[in-house]
Structure 1
Amino acid sequence: MHVLLVYLFILIGAAVITRLAFGEDSHRRIAEGCGLDLFLAGDAKDAVSVEATTKDAEGGPLAGEVPPLSPEKSFQEGSLASFASSKGVPPAQCWMLRFLEETCCALPVRASDVRVLHHPTAFYDEMRSQIRAARRSIVLSALYLSHGPLSQAFVECLEEKFREMLELWERTQSSGGDGDEVAERGEPFTITVLMDYNRMHSRRDLATVRRLLSMADVGSGRASAFPHAPASTRPQVQLFLYQSPCRWNRVFAPFGRAKEALGVQHTKIFCFDGQHTLLTGANLSDDYFATRIDRYVAFDANVHIAEWFTRLVRVLCALSHPVERGVDPAEAGGSPSFPSPSTSSPSSLSSPLHTRCGLVVRPNATGFDPSAQPGAFAQAAGARLRAFARGVGRDFAGLAYTALTSPEAGCDTLLFPTLQCGRAGVFHDSAVVKSLLGMTSPTDHVFLTSPYLNLHAEFVEEFLHREIRLDCITASVKTNGWNGQRGIAGFIPFFYLQLERSFYYLMKAYHCVHRVHLHEFSMPGLTFHAKGVWFVSEPAKGENGSPPPAGLRDIPTPYLTAYGSTNYGYRSVFKDLEAEGFLFTFNQSLRESIKEELHSLLQHSTAVPEAQFVGEAMGRFQPVISLLAQMGQYFL
C-alpha cells in the first residue's frame, strides 16, 4: 500500500512538471480564423452558415444531431448536401457533407482517377513510376529521406530524371529554343523537396541531402555552355528543412532523434506535373518502401488536388530553411541560417548545418529563427497559413458543385483537405475530426487506426459521452516501428502498450467496452504505420443493439474516409505540422476499394481482450513503464 502511494505521488509530481514544462493547454480557445473557420475567412458565405459551423457544445445539427426535417427542406439549393440528398444519400451523411463543404475546400474528383494502394512495395513502385513520367515538376514533402539501399535507388531515380530534363534543356538551347517546353510552360522543370529540420540531422541522411543538391551543381556547370540562356529556365532542385518553433530546440539538439518530440514537419504530400497527387502517412525510407505498411491514395489527372497541395507545400517552404550544398559560406554570399546565441538579430549568421557534409542552411522567409524567436515565428507562420487558406478558399469556392452537376465533368467523388499546425495556432484538422465524431448517427460505425494509441483527449471524450460504435486498430508490440531499437527507444512499444491499457480501462470505467473494441495489427514480416478514419453506415446488431467485434462480420462500404499524416494523438494536435484529406464518394466501386483496404487491416489484426492486461500478460500494469509513458504522453 505504501509503495502504491509513493508511486502515485511520484506520478502526479512528474506529470505536473512535464505538463508545465512541455505541455499545451488542450482547452485553450482557438483564435478566430484558425479552427473550423480557417477556410471561411474572407469567404462570401452568410453569417448564419458561419455561425452554424462553429457550434460545438451548444448542440444543433453540426454538433451531432440531425434535425427532424426532410432533406428537401434542410439543405440550401446549390449545395453539395442538396445534391447528395437528391441522389438518395441518407440525411445524416448529407449533414456531414454540409459541414465539410462549409469548413473545408471541396475538390471534385472522378472515382476512375482514384487508386487505393495496399502495400509498401506498391507505394515505392508508384513513386518511382511518377518520377520517371514527370515532365514539369516533382514536389515531395515528408518527414525525412533516409539512406538505405532502396532510398538510394529512389534518389538515383530523381537523379536520372533531372539529367534527362537537363539534356532536354540543352537540346532546346542548342536548337535555338525550337520546341522548347520550358518556353511554352513559362517555368523550368523543378524538383522541390520539403523535410523536417530536426529529423534530418543524421550524418548519413545529410549525405543523402547533399547528393540531391549535387544535381543542381551539375546543372549550373553544364549551363555555362549557354551563357545567353536565362538561369531561370534551366532545371532546378530546391530543398527546404522546416523547424518547428520551440524554445527547447537548442536544449534538445545534442540528443539525436529525441528532439523530434518537440514537433516536426509531418506532412506526406507527393505531387507530379501539377496533376498527379499521392497522399499517405509514409516516409521516404527503406522500411516504408518494403515492410512498414501505411495507407496510400493516388489521384490521377486532377489539377485541382495537385494545385491545392502544391500551394500548401509552397507556403511551408517559405516557412522553412533553404539548403545549399558544398560551398564555402563566404563564397555563398553569407552563411547559414542560425542566429548566433549571443545575438537576437534574425539575420545574423553562423556555421554550416554539418561541417563534413558541407551544407549551408539559410534563413527562412519570415526572418525569425524558430529556436531563438519561437513566438514571433509562430505568429508569422500562422499569418501565412491563414493567408493560404483565404486564397484557396476563395479560388476553389463552388468548384465541386459545378463539377458534380456537370455531366461532362463526370465527377462523383469529393476530397476535403484539412490542415493542422498547433505551434502556429492552426487547429483546423482536429476541429474537423472532433466535429465529425460528434455528428455520427446511431447507424454509424467508426473505424480508426493509428500506429501510436495516444489519442487526443477531445476525441476520447466523444467516444465516452456519445454512443459511438468504434473499432480502433493499432500496432502490437512486435509490429510497432520502434520495436528492436537500441537504448530507451526500444521501450517505446511498451510505453504505447501501457497507454493502450489505460485507454481500455477508461472505456471499461465508462461502460463503453460493448461498443468500443481494440485490435492490434499482427501480420508477420510487416510493421504498422497506418493512420486514418472510416465512417460506415450500418444497423446495430448483437445484444442490446451493440455490434459484434469487427472482423467477425461483413463490413458495409464506408462512405467517408481520411488519408494523411496525422496520428490523432497529442503531438499531432499541438506540436506537429499535419495535413490530410477526407474522401467522400458516391461511386460504389471506389467504396468497395476503400472497404477492401479496411477489411485487409482488420483481417491481419487481432482483437484485444481484457486478458492481455492482467496477470502475467505483456500488457499488465508495470509501474515504471507506466510512469514513463504517462510522463511522455505529451511527446508520443
Structure 2
Amino acid sequence: MFSSTLRLYGHASTTRRQSYARSLRLMSSSRNFHPMIKNFASKLQQPKFTIPPNKIQIMSRPTEFYSHLLHMVHRAETRIFISSLYLGSSETELVSSFADALKRRPQLQIHMLFDLNRSTRPGPHSTVKLLAPLVAQYPDRVHVSFFRSPSLRGILAKFVPPRFNEGWGTWHAKIYGVDDEVMISGANLNKSYFTDRQDRYLHFTGNSQLAQYCFDFIDTVSGFSFKLQLPSSHSEYDISWPMPDIHPHHIHKTAELALASLQNRYRQLTAKNSDAENITLFPLIQAGQFNIRDEETALKMLFQHLDTNAARPLVDLTSGYFGLYKEYQDLVLQSTNVDCRIVAASPLANGFYGSRGISGRIPEGYTYLEQRFMNAVKRAGRQATVQLSEWEREGWTYHAKGIWLSETSSQPPMLTLFGSTNLNSRSAHIDTELSFMMLVPESSGTEPLRRQLADEVDNLRKHSSPWKGADRKVRLGTKALVGLVGGML
C-alpha cells in the first residue's frame, strides 16, 4: 500500500516524494501505538528518542546495577558522564575504576554532577574529598560540578545545619553514561544501592542522540553549578563559583532559560524521529523552582486522556517516599475510569528507619501522609479501585519509583515513567529531577520488552502486602513536623 501510494505521485519531485514518505512514516508510527495512548503520544511536546527494543535492558537487582556500572566504566573509550545525588563515602572501588579508566584511555574525559550540600557534609570521606585527588591528578580530564539549590538563601543559608540544608532542595537526577550508552535509575552511588536497596535500572544502547542529550543535560546544569578545583596547599579541596556576575542564590532565571533552551533545541533536533517498530522515549525535566514542569504537564495530560477512554486501564504507581504530590493525588482520585495499584515502602523499608534525631520520625511522617491519602480515597469512594500496598523485605530498604500503564491487569505495560522523581511534593517543587516516559508500540518485536516491564512490576509487588498504616500510631509531634514542612519530607 505504501509503495502504491507513492506511485500515484510519480511525476512529483524527489523532494516532494521524500516528504510524503516521511509523513506516512509518522502516521504509521502513530498508528502503531495502542489506541489507549495513540492520541496522548501525539500531544507530547518534549524531545523524543526512538530505540530498538532489543537495545534496552531492564535490571531488577542492585548487584546487577553495580556490576553493570563497573563494566560500563571499564569499556569507556572517550567519555564517562554521571549525575547523582552523591557518591558514598565507602565507594573507593568505583573511584579506583575511574582512575584505571583514565590510565588506560589517554583521551578519556569524565564529567560528574552531584548535589553540593550532600557532597560536602562534614566527615573524612565526603563526595568532594573522595574525588579531589582524581581532579588533582587529572585537572584537564576530570570535571566535577556541584549543584546548589538557590531556595536556601539569606540568613537561613548561614545557620541551617548540614544534615538539614537539603530540605530546601537537591540535585536529584540519576544518569550513568559512557560513550553512547546510558543507564537511567533512581539509585545513588552508595553501598546500600549496590546491595540491598531496591530501585529500578534501565540501560540503553543504539541511540547516540539519547546519550548526547543526557551528556548535554549534565553539561547545561554544570554551567550554573560549583566546580571542584585543584586544592591549595592549605586545603583538601577547593570549589569555585563559575559565574561572577550572578550570585548562586539568584540563578532562577538563568537555570530556567538554560533548561528550556535544552528542551527546545532537542525537540527540534528529534522532531522527525519516528519508527513504528521502535520504542519512544520522552525526557521530562521537573524543576519547580525554575518553572520547568514537564513531568507534571505530561502526567496531567496522561490521566485526563485515560479517563476518557472507553476501556478501563490499570496504572501501577510506586514510590519509596510516598507523599504523593497533591495534584497527582487529584489525578488518581478524580480519574474514575482508571484503576490504580500503588506500592510504597513500609516503615521498616524506609531508608530513614532507625535514624537519629528528627530524621528518625520520617518513616512515621510518611505513614501520616499515607493515612491522609487513604482517607481521601475513602471520601472519593475509590476504595475498590485505588489500592495501596507496602513493600517490605527483611534486611532491605525500598527506593523504587515510577509508573506503568497496562490495558488490563493481565496485559503487559505499554508505557512506563522511570528516573529520579519520587512523585511527591519535594520532587514537584524543590528538587531538580530528570525522568523519562517510555511508550512501547504494538508489534511482535516489542513483546519481549513489554514482558520485561510486566516482570519488573511483578518483582516489586512480590514483596508487597496490603497497607497496614491505618492501625499505626502517629505522634502529635510528627504531625506537627509534617505540617511544618508542608509534606516535603
**TM-score, shorter chain, exceeding 0.5:** yes
Q: Give the CA deviation at 1:97.
A: 1.6
**Contact 2:86/2:127 (<8 A) preserved:** no
Instruction: Report the Cα distance in structure 1 between the residues aligned to 2:260 and 2:423, rounded to whole angstroms.
Output: 22
1:571-590 alignment, distance < 5 Å: 571-586=426-441, 587-590=446-449
2:345 aligned partner:
475
Q: 1:287 aligns with which of 189, 192, 212?
A: 192
**Contact 1:420/1:577 (<8 A) preserved:** yes
Matched position secondary structure for 1:305? helix
1:182-221 alignment, distance < 5 Å: 188-204=107-123, 207-219=126-138
1:424 aligned partner:
290
Q: 1:297 aligns with which of 202, 205, 218?
A: 202
1:391-402 alignment, distance < 5 Å: 391-399=265-273, 401=274
1:139 aligned partner:
81
Q: 1:382 aligns with which of 256, 272, 280?
A: 256
1:225 aligned partner:
none
**Contact 1:196/1:265 (<8 A) preserved:** yes
Q: Give the CA deviation at 1:238.
A: 0.4
Amino acid aligned to 1:360? D
Q: Give the CA deviation at 1:561.
A: 0.2
2:482 aligned partner:
629
Change (3 A) 1:250 1:164: farther
Instruction: Report the Cα distance in structure 1 between the residues aligned to 2:34 and 2:382, rounded to whole angstroms.
Output: 26
Instruction: Report the Cα distance in structure 2 between the residues aligned to 1:110 and 1:593, rounded to whole angstroms.
Output: 14
Instruction: Report the Cα distance in structure 2 between the residues aligned to 1:290 and 1:465, rounded to whole angstroms.
Output: 39
Amino acid aligned to 1:422? G
Change (3 A) 1:79 1:93: farther
Change (3 A) 1:303 1:479: same
Change (3 A) 1:194 1:250: farther
Q: 1:318 aligns with which of 206, 215, 223?
A: 223
2:407 aligned partner:
537
Amino acid aligned to 1:456? Y
Matched position secondary structure for 1:193? strand
Change (3 A) 1:210 1:256: closer
- 1:438 matches 2:297: no
Instruction: Report the Cα distance in structure 2 between the residues aligned to 1:206 and 1:435, rounded to whole angstroms.
Output: 44
Instruction: Report the Cα distance in structure 2 between the residues aligned to 1:558 and 1:448, rounded to whole angstroms.
Output: 12
Change (3 A) 1:497 1:207: closer
Larger Rg: 1
Q: Which consecutive residues of structure 2, in runs of 5 or more, have no partner in the other structure? A: 1-21
Q: 1:83 aligns with which of 6, 29, 53?
A: 29
**Contact 1:81/1:97 (<8 A) preserved:** no
- 1:123 matches 2:29: no
Change (3 A) 1:154 1:249: farther
1:594 aligned partner:
453
> How many pairs align?
459
Q: 2:247 aligns with which of 369, 376, 379?
A: 369
1:458-513 Cα shifts (integer Å, max 9, x gaps): 11111222212111111000000000111111111000011111111111011111
TM-score normalised according to structure 1 size: 0.69
Q: Give the CA deviation at 1:622.
A: 3.7
Change (3 A) 1:125 1:260: same
Instruction: Report the Cα distance in structure 1 between the residues aligned to 2:169 and 2:260, rounded to whole angstroms.
Output: 20
2:211 aligned partner:
306
Q: Give the CA deviation at 1:380.
A: 1.2
**Contact 2:52/2:206 (<8 A) preserved:** no
- 1:563 matches 2:418: yes
Matched position secondary structure for 1:580? strand
1:325-336 alignment, distance < 5 Å: 325-328=230-233
Instruction: Report the Cα distance in structure 1 between the residues aligned to 2:52 and 2:245, rounded to whole angstroms.
Output: 42
Q: 1:251 aligns with which of 136, 156, 161?
A: 156
Q: Give the CA deviation at 1:302.
A: 2.1
Instruction: Report the Cα distance in structure 2 between the residues aligned to 1:81 and 1:97, rounded to whole angstroms.
Output: 12
1:412 aligned partner:
278
Q: Give the CA deviation at 1:433.
A: 1.5
Q: Which moved more, 1:200-209 or 1:496-505?
A: 200-209
Matched position secondary structure for 1:203? coil
Change (3 A) 1:511 1:301: same
1:465 aligned partner:
334
Q: Which consecutive residues of structure 1, in runs of 5 or more, have no partner in the other structure? A: 1-75, 170-187, 221-234, 329-354, 406-410, 539-553
Instruction: Report the Cα distance in structure 1 between the residues aligned to 2:119 and 2:372, rounded to whole angstroms.
Output: 33
Q: 2:169 aligns with which of 260, 263, 269?
A: 263
Change (3 A) 1:572 1:563: same
